[in-house]
Amino acid sequence: MAGGPAGEAQRHRAGWVAAQLLLGVGLARPTPLAIAAVLVCLAVLVVLVPPLRLTIAALAIAVAVVALVPQSWPWPALLVGIGLLAGARGRPDGQFGPSPGRRLLWALCIGLLAAGAVTPLVLGAVDSAPSAFPVPQPPVPVLVAVVLGAAVVNASAEELLWRGAIVAADRRLGLSSGTTIALQAVGFGVAHLHGIPGGPVGVIAAGVFGAAMAWLRMRAGLGAAFAAHVLTDIGIFSIVAATAVFVPG
């Protein structure tokens, strides 16, 4: 069994890997028993991983709030992401080789490709279960503003949490880029079990997207990942809005 500082660092990394995967399961809300088990495990990891004690505790709070009030999403993730990044030492991004223009081009290309790839999946999901809202159908300008606002808020929450705070913690513990991308694929994918689209297809699609955003974040910065995510969410939410059923309550 490994001992000394090296062994302790290895245990901390293993605990942090488990915390990320538990976050994905907790946000997926599979069953109340599973959520309870996730919270217990995260509480144990708070004790076992002192370097990331506050980070893991914040993840547990986000899971608990979303479990109790699912309609609160994405605000718990947004607040946790902002809080963790604000308390982190140093900037979330370092220096990147590509120019700002090239980083923006990468963000636009990846965002548009992701939006195009997920469109048939979202159309299939809303075709079988369109979203229903107990309000009169709003005018088109209002609907456009809601779609844009929802895309920005959701992308901000997920990027600040997953590609911001979590990737920053990966760096502090010395996880490799490949490990970070793999963890983002699994954790972010599982978290979208009830997303649009949901189910196994949604988990796989979100996993691929999470891996792409992690790669983009490490290659071009958090701003590039955010821009790509906004474009993708605009595509998803536009389809949801265009197919939604408005039934005044």
Helix, strand or coil, per DSSP, at residue 175: coil
Could you tell me which of 143, 124, 102 has the C-alpha nearest to residue 234? 143
**Rounded CA gap, 197 and 72, in Å?**
19
Residue 144: band (very low, low, confident or very high) from pLDDT cuts 50, 70, 90:
very high
Residue 6 is predicted with a pLDDT of 81
Residue 5: band (very low, low, confident or very high) from pLDDT cuts 50, 70, 90:
confident
Residue 89 is predicted with a pLDDT of 61
What is the phi/psi pair of residue 129, to 5°?
-150, 75
What is the phi/psi pair of residue 81, to 5°?
-60, -45
Q: Taking residues 216-232, what's their average pLDDT?
A: 96
pLDDT score of 1 more than 50 = no
Q: Of 6 and 186, which is predicted with more confidence? A: 186
The verdict on pTM exceeding 0.75 is: yes
Name the residue type at position 183.
Answer: L
Residue 112 is predicted with a pLDDT of 96
Which range has the worst mean pLDDT, 3-12, 15-24, 43-52?
Answer: 3-12
| 146-191: pLDDT as tens digits | 999 999 999 999 999 999 999 999 999 999 999 999 999 999 999 9
**Rounded CA gap, 50 and 100, in Å?**
37
Helix, strand or coil, per DSSP, at residue 246: strand
Helix, strand or coil, per DSSP, at residue 133: strand
| 89-140: pLDDT as tens digits | 655 555 566 788 899 999 999 999 999 999 999 999 998 888 888 989 999 9
Structure tokens at 172: 């502090």
Residue 7 is predicted with a pLDDT of 86
Residue 249 is predicted with a pLDDT of 67
| 27-58: pLDDT as tens digits | 999 999 999 999 999 999 999 999 999 999 99
Number of domains making up the chain: 1
| 51-94: pLDDT as tens digits | 999 999 999 999 999 999 999 999 999 999 999 999 876 555 55
What percentage of the chain carries pLDDT values higher than 90? 86
Range of the domain at 159: 4-246
Residue 88 is predicted with a pLDDT of 74
∠ CA 46-48-52, nearest 5°, is 55
User: Scanning the structure block, which residue is given the tokens 């790839």?
Assistant: 117
